[in-house]
Amino acid sequence: MTTTFGAARLSSVRAIGASRRRRVRGERSPAAAGSAGAGASSAVNIYTGVLQPRLQANANITAALQRLSFYVSGDMGQSLPLDAKDSYRFYGVGAGSSYAATTFLSFDAGYRTSWQEAKPDALGMGGTAVPRQWFAYLGISLLGPAIVF
């Protein structure tokens, strides 16, 4: 079992994160991994065009057994200050799976949804939410060898 923690600062972006991984050795053994992170940065308010501080957080969990893997993830963000008349927040969640048919071929499926909430002044039209957006996908992944520079 491995546990890691980290912190970084790039320009005006500050971020912290943590992950915990548990893997049992062997061909048929299950493996699981998870991570969580948080950060603070500045972002342009999508409704007013004004630069605002923002907090962000995310988490994910992945589980695998032999060639089959599953994941779930979630993220959110909140503009600051919380009581600003143009504050907003957004959420997102997703889930998916993958089957590795061969070393170089996998089949993937997943779903992702996100939505936003804003104070009426942020929208300028008296509304308080942006409709939920979603997508579902089916995919075929062709994997190639790693390129080393």
In the chain, domain spans:
2-142
What are φ and ψ of residue 134, in 5° steps? -150, 160
Q: Alpha-carbon distance 56 to 93, whole Å? A: 14
pLDDT in tens, the chain (149 residues): 444 445 444 444 455 555 555 554 545 678 899 999 999 998 887 777 888 899 999 999 999 999 999 999 999 999 888 888 878 889 999 999 999 999 899 999 999 999 988 876 656 655 556 778 999 999 999 988 888 88
DSSP class of residue 149 equals -
- Report pLDDT for 50: 84
Q: Alpha-carbon distance 7 to 37, whole Å? A: 10
Question: What DSSP line would sit under 36-88, residue for residue?
Answer: EEEEEEEEE-TTT--EEEEEEEEEEEEEEETTEEEEEEEEEEEESSTT-TT-E
